[in-house]
Chains A and B, each alone.
Chain A
Amino acid sequence: MTAYLITSVSVVGAAPTDLLIRDGVVAEVGPGLSAPDATVIDGTGLVALPGLVDLHTHLREPGREDAETVESGSRAAALGGYTAVCAMANTSPVADTAGVVEQVWRLGREAALVDVQPIGAVTVGLAGERLAELGAMADSAARVRIFSDDGHCVADPKLMRRALEYVKAFDGIIAQHAEEPRLTEGAQMHEGEVSTRLGLIGWPAVAEEAIIARDVLLAEHVGSRLHVCHVSTAGSVEVLRHAKARGVRVTAEVTPHHLLLTDERAETYDPVFKVNPPLRTAADITALRAALADGVIDVIATDHAPHAVEDKECEWAYARPGMLGLETALSIALDVLGPEWDLIAERMSRAPARIAGLPGHGVDPAPGVPANLTLIDPAARRTIEPAELASRSRNTPYARMTLPGRIVATFLRGEPTVLDGKAVK
């Protein structure tokens, strides 16, 4: 195993120092290290963060390998600075059995670019009718702890209560896609001034907020862990703030796109901006950024959602919702939060690793910890070209935007997955 000596690198924003990686772990940290056998990486001007962890990734395999595979998504993740991703269950077949989650887990191991942690479906076939075999998925080789019907809301309150209760047996967590389906029938974008002007059916903020309010009360009632996926409204932030103040065991994530883009993007009717939950207003963005800073929102998660060209190059109403995120998330975080490295490490690595229960991830580089880390050049700026992305899909909303920051290298258990900004395999 090759050793790597990273010189003059700022660890999570601290004064520059040297980092020696050997045998899969961070062997030494300190100024003036020497290791004649090690490959030297000049870390001058770079920032080392614990490898990023994504709580919300769609890898599309099995079922839509034309849009993404576990391998291509893993490569996109590594290039984005990630060392672990949680793969959502809405594949085809749905990841609602031990067999499917083990398949995804095994494909992740084979790709060996990031740790792929499968998420299991809450209900059979995401149909919202009866519980999937949550315990079998928990006991499988994939060791599933997060369960989600993402893409669909577990709308039935009794089923949601039971799911929250049941997963207590193995310290599981239910990650809810909060969307009251009766309030979003046919919905195409955020309900407001722009949807009225564009004649597109609105997705009202209350459809998200009502479910979050219900779920935090259910979680409190049964004493379970709830995670709220892709929070998108100012009202949701207030509900979460209230619940956290009451001591409810709830965590929440926000996507990069909900921190940056507004519903006005829909005005071209280009479905690259169609996503669920939809892009909201500037006032929502302000509230989400504040919640991210003060901790009401715990995590930035990408909701990386690759889609084939034909599913986006069409009428808005017929397009599938979702956008790419893995290769741009860190840049958006840097753009939105500035060089707040400790906050970025917390929201993009430590907190998601804690929520997902991924040992060895989300730990700042220090002697003895697994060498899962990424090196960022914060001074670099890059223009996003869809054709240059590692994802199999091209549906990035940031095409031709110039964003700050570039991932220079990523290490997974001491092995580089990205060097000089390029994937090693």
Chain B
Amino acid sequence: MDNQIEFKNVAFSYDNEQGKRDIIKDFNLSIKRGSFTVILGHNGSGKSTVAKLMNGLYKPTNSDGTVLVDGIDTKDEKNEIEIRRKVGLVFQNPDNQLVASIVEEDVAFGPENLGFAPEKTRERVDEALKAVDMYEFRKSTPHHLSGGQKQRVAIAGIIAMKPECLILDEPTAMLDPKGRAEVIRIIEKLNRENGITVVLITHFMEEAQSADRVVLLSAGEIIRDGTPKEIFSDIKTLKAVGLDVPQTTELLYELKENGIDINTDAISVEETAALISAALHLEEK
């Protein structure tokens, strides 16, 4: 299986008044085509920088570091448009990504920039809006939509360019629980049904449940890399790096700390309930 995105010895730093600051250093990571990867990290762990390196918005600041998208080097200016078309990036604040004041015209922005014929753009727009369940709102104005709906429109705006890979940088951080659920459902669907490679960057552990792989980032370094179950059972590390641990996992962990022999790799309420029932040898009454 081939790699959609590949980081090789990447460093990224910037200069400010306090001098040079390294955000990431000697960073290596490959994202497989068609996979669903979650990058977990706290604020300031360098996860947004990683996202922006993935579509060439940022370039490695060391000369021997490369980011390859489908084998193409992001450092090469002439590949810019091709890379952005392949790797779409969705940001945290939905308000600041929407350009036009009518939903369908906003979604059309990407295809329009690519110079597609109006009919082709129309087709792409309708398709994208249907994929995020926002077709019925195509004539609305973003200002009248909820946060979750706006974020889905932002995703549609990227999908309309038919990217192979979708990077989402904390897409749910500003949403209420309902909006969060809507957006996560759409992301999972795009990966499963449309075969889009998804990299979801977040600090909400719950959102990593259905991922193929979880990469744990802290202070610009990958400190864990594995399946969701592998990562979640290591609650000590998760807490040490300042991550949000859902109550379910926390409960299992506390029970174990209190001497109960129990697995701690569940997140969902159902799994947790099953693990507890088993550990306590509960019997149907």
Q: Do A and B come from one complex?
A: no
